[in-house]
């Protein structure tokens, strides 16, 4: 009898479970069984869609480990920091509209590079990505004037391991190429008078080609002058009584003076030391004054 009673209890519990569970399978909404067992499912109300953001993104290359300045319509917007590979990537949320953005920066030596401008229209809810920006290299020369035969060195910063082409005008259309090092530094020395640089005023600027083949904007333009290395005329520096300009006033000069003695407008104009159009005792006395022996 005891085992039969237990069996009837088990069947009863089983029935209750079946009775309770089956409706929950049929209906996923809230259901209640006739006893203590219940199954509920909460359906999340759908979230309202987020207002899409209007974003402008700038990615590109400049100078390693440097700080760039970003302007919007000529007004400061934010700073941008580049990494050791000279890369930058910044996204900014702003109101839709048409803007002119300006980006420029300095290299690690504080030398300012050229300015990059771009005008774009931002549409509502759209992320506008401006990629492939490559600011022009920084550039400076170690001198502004160089004599023929002397060396002038141009240098600056760009993205690391880039080919830098230096353009000298107006004499040349060819460029001089160098590769920037791991720090982005480039440096190129030219010899004035050789390397196609004639005497006169010159301008120099450069651009860079990254390892990926991206070509930068041009650098700023700098100017320098090449001058002829002319031997100074020794007579310009000599004593007025040093008639042969050898640095001495002696018997050689005296003999020249005697050669032109009493001549008017002598062929060797230096013999007329006081420039009164005659070689005479006055010139002789001046010579004595400067006499070095
Ligand atoms: Ca002399
Ligand atoms: Ca004279």
State pLDDT tens for residues 78-135: 999 999 999 999 999 999 999 999 999 999 999 999 999 999 999 999 999 999 999 9
Residue 62: exposure state from Cβ atoms within 10 A (0-12, 13-18, ≥19): buried
Q: In the listed set 227, 253, 278, which residue is the last one of a domain according to the structure?
A: 227
What is the Å distance from ligand 2's center to 233 Cα? 23
Quick one: 167 and 220 in the same domain?
yes
pLDDT per residue as tens digits for the range 17-28: 444 444 443 333
In the chain, the number of structural domains is 4
Q: Are residues 118 and 149 in the same domain?
A: no
Per-residue pLDDT of the chain (293 residues; tens, 9 = 90+): 444 444 444 434 343 444 444 444 333 333 333 344 434 455 556 666 677 899 999 999 999 999 999 999 999 999 999 999 999 999 999 999 999 999 999 999 999 999 999 999 999 999 999 999 999 999 999 999 998 889 999 999 999 999 999 998 876 556 889 999 999 999 999 988 877 677 888 999 999 999 989 999 999 999 999 888 777 788 888 999 999 999 999 999 999 999 999 999 999 999 999 999 999 999 999 999 999 98
Cis peptide before 91 (omega within 30 of 0): no
CA 239 – ligand 1 centroid, Å:
9
Same domain, 60 and 110: yes
pLDDT computed for residue 148 by the predictor = 87
* Four-residue CA torsion sign, 278, 282, 286, 288: positive
End-to-end CA distance of the chain: 157
Please report which residue ranges of the chain form alpha helices under DSSP H: 2-26, 234-237, 251-259, 281-290
The answer to the question of residue 107 being in a domain is yes
Q: Residue 50 domain-assigned?
A: no
**For the CA of 240, the nearest ligand:** 1
Distance 229 CA to ligand 1 centre (A): 26
Ligand nearest to the CA of 269: 2
CATH number at residue 267: 1.10.1330
Residue closest to 51 by CA, chosen among 96, 90, 83 = 96
C-alpha 274 to ligand 2 mean position (Å): 5
| pLDDT (0 to 100) of residue 173 | 58
Q: 283 C-alpha vs ligand 1 centroid, how far in Å?
A: 14
Helix (H) or strand (E) holding 41: none
Task: Indicate whether 269 belongs to any domain.
Answer: yes
Cα of 279 from ligand 1 centre, angstroms: 17
The answer as to whether 102 is a domain residue is: yes
Do 208 and 165 sit in the same domain of this protein? yes
Q: What pLDDT was estimated at residue 205?
A: 94
The pLDDT score that the predictor gives to residue 51 is 76
Are residues 170 and 220 part of one domain?
A: yes
- Using alpha carbons only, how large is the chain's radius of gyration in Å? 44
C-alpha 238 to ligand 1 mean position (Å)? 9
CB 120 within 8 A of CB 56: yes
Q: Among all ligands shown, which has an atom nearest to the Cα of 261?
A: 2
Any domain includes 47: no
Say yes or no: 145 and 202 in one domain.
Answer: yes
Q: Which ligand is nearest to the CA of 249?
A: 1
**In 3-state terms, what secondary structure has residue 43?**
coil
Task: Let me know whether 109 and 155 are in one domain.
Answer: no
Residue 280 lies in a domain: yes
169 domain-assigned:
yes
71, with CB counted inside 10 A (0-12, 13-18, 19+), is middle
266 Cα–ligand 1 center, Å? 17
* Inter-residue long-range contacts of 110-117, CB under 8 Å, 24+ positions, other chains counted: 111/138, 111/139, 111/140, 111/156, 111/157, 112/138, 112/220, 113/62, 113/63, 113/137, 113/138, 113/219, 113/220, 114/217, 114/218, 114/219, 114/220, 116/217
The answer to whether residues 242 and 274 belong to one domain is yes
* Shared-domain flag, residues 144 and 221: yes
Question: CB within 5 A of ion ligand 2: which residues?
Answer: 272, 274, 276, 283
Q: Which of 227, 249, 279 is the last residue of a domain?
A: 227
Boundary-marking domain end, from 134, 168, 200: 134
Q: Which ligand is nearest to the CA of 250?
A: 1
| pLDDT reported for residue 236 | 85
Nearest-ligand number for the alpha carbon of 253: 1
Claim to verify: residue 144 and residue 223 sit in the same structural domain:
yes
Examine the domain organization and report whether 199 and 167 are in the same domain: yes
Q: What per-residue confidence (pLDDT) applies to 43?
A: 59
The rounded Å distance from CA 230 to ligand 1 centre is 23
What's the gap in Å between 242 CA and the centre of ligand 2? 14
- Give the domain range for residue 8: 2-37
Question: Cα(229) to centroid of ligand 2, in Å?
Answer: 35
Q: Are residues 123 and 100 in the same domain?
A: yes
Q: Is residue 44 part of a domain?
A: no
The confidence score (pLDDT) of residue 21 equals 41
């Amino acid at each position: 009898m005891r085992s039969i009673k237990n069996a009837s209890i088990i069947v009863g519990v089983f029935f209750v479970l079946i009775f309770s569970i089956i409706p929950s399978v049929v209906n996923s909404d809230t259901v209640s069984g006739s006893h203590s067992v219940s199954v509920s499912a909460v359906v999340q109300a759908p979230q309202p869609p987020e207002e899409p953001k209007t974003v402008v993104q700038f990615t590109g290359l400049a100078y390693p480990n440097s700080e760039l300045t970003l302007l919007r319509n000529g007004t400061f917007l934010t700073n941008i920091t580049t990494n050791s590979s000279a890369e930058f990537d910044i996204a900014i949320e702003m109101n839709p509209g048409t803007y002119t953005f300006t980006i420029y920066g300095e290299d690690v030596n504080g030398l300012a590079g050229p300015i990059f401008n771009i005008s774009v229209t931002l549409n509502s809810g759209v992320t506008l990505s401006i990629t492939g920006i490559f600011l022009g290299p920084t550039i400076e020369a170690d001198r502004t004037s160089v004599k023929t035969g002397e060396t002038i060195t141009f240098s600056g910063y760009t993205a690391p391991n880039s080919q830098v082409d230096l353009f000298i005008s107006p004499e040349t259309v060819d460029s001089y190429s160098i590769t920037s090092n791991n720090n982005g530094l480039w440096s190129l020395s030219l010899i004035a008078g050789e390397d196609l640089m004639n005497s006169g005023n010159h301008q120099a600027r450069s651009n860079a080609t990254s390892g990926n083949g991206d070509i930068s904007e041009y650098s700023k333009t700098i100017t320098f002058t090449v001058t002829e290395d002319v031997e100074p005329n020794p007579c310009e520096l000599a004593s007025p009584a040093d008639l042969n300009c050898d640095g001495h006033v002696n018997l050689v000069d005296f003999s020249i003076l005697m050669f032109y003695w009493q001549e008017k407008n002598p062929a060797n104009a230096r013999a007329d030391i006081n420039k009164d159009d005659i070689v005479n005792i006055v010139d002789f006395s001046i010579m004595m004054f400067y006499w070095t022996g």
